[in-house]
Amino acid sequence: MKNELRVLRARHGLSQAELAEKLGVSRQTINAIETGRYDPSLPLAFKIAALFRHPIEEIFSFEDGAGSA
């Protein structure tokens, strides 16, 4: 999965710690999502979408082995 979390977070002027607090997760979890090492659960993905007021598919996109979104 690819995501735009880092860009959105920066656009809203939030640090990883601030975003983590708003979402009720750890800073490490935000970092793991941003670096693409962890794909969040659906509830967390919806929470992120609701927080940034963006459709979920604009934040997260599926990326198969060939690298297409």
Partner 1 sequence: MDNNSTKHLTANQDSHWPSLWILLYGNYGPRSPEGRRMIIRSSLALVAMLICVLSSALLHSVIPKRIVRLILAITPSVAFTFIVWEFRRYLSALDELARRMQLEAAAWTYLCALPAAMLLGGLGFVYHWHVNWYWFLALEPMRAIWLYFVSRRYQ
Helix (H) or strand (E) holding 35, with range, is none
Residue number with CB closer to partner 1 (3 or 16): 16
β-bridge pairing 2-3 and 60-61: antiparallel
Binding segment (CB under 8 A) for partner 1, from list 5-13, 50-58, 60-68: 5-13
Of the residues 3, 5, 30, 60, which one makes contact with partner 1 according to CB under 8 A: 30
**Greatest Cα-to-Cα distance within the chain, rounded to the nearest angstrom:** 35
Nearest-5° Cα angle at 17, 15 to 20: 110
51 sits near partner 1 (criterion: CB under 8 A): no
Site of interaction with partner 1 (CB under 8 A): 6-7, 9-11, 13-17, 24-32, 35, 37-38, 40-41, 44
